[in-house]
Amino acid sequence: MPNITFIEPSGDERVVDVPVGWSLMQAATSQGVEGIDAECGGSCACATCHCYVEGELAARVPAPGAGESSMLDSVAAERRPNSRLSCQIKMTPELEGLVLRIAATQT
């Protein structure tokens, strides 16, 4: 099973195994990763799973769709060029080793 590294707002790193096809938000919430609120449960309606995709594997993450781009306008923390909603990134084998830094605040 591929894994990714979440960097929690505290700076702690958590390596999590993620089943292929799961959203990265699902993986974070199922493993108790701190900082992902996921208030809408992954329906791209709240922007409380905001994260920053980091590192050389960032280019492998598909670009955000129109709905996600619109929701990113509502994030509580700073929106950056590498901002994403973790509910909209599905795990694939190609994302093995991806690093996500969780935004400092979600609400």
The predicted pLDDT at position 101 comes to: 98
CA-CA-CA-CA dihedral for 10, 13, 19, 22, to nearest 10: 30
Q: What mean pLDDT is predicted for residues 11-38? A: 97
The predicted pLDDT at position 57 comes to: 95
The predicted pLDDT at position 16 comes to: 97
Structure-token pair, residue 66: 């129109």
Structure-token pair, residue 75: 């994030």
The predicted pLDDT at position 97 comes to: 98
The predicted pLDDT at position 18 comes to: 98
Per-residue pLDDT band for 15 (boundaries 50, 70, 90) equals very high
H or E element in which residue 26 lies: helix 24-30
Domains and CATH numbers, the chain: 3-102 (3.10.20.30)
The predicted pLDDT at position 74 comes to: 94
Per residue in 59-89, pLDDT (tens digit) is: 999 999 999 999 999 999 999 999 999 999 9
| Mean of per-residue pLDDT scores for the chain | 97
The predicted pLDDT at position 48 comes to: 97
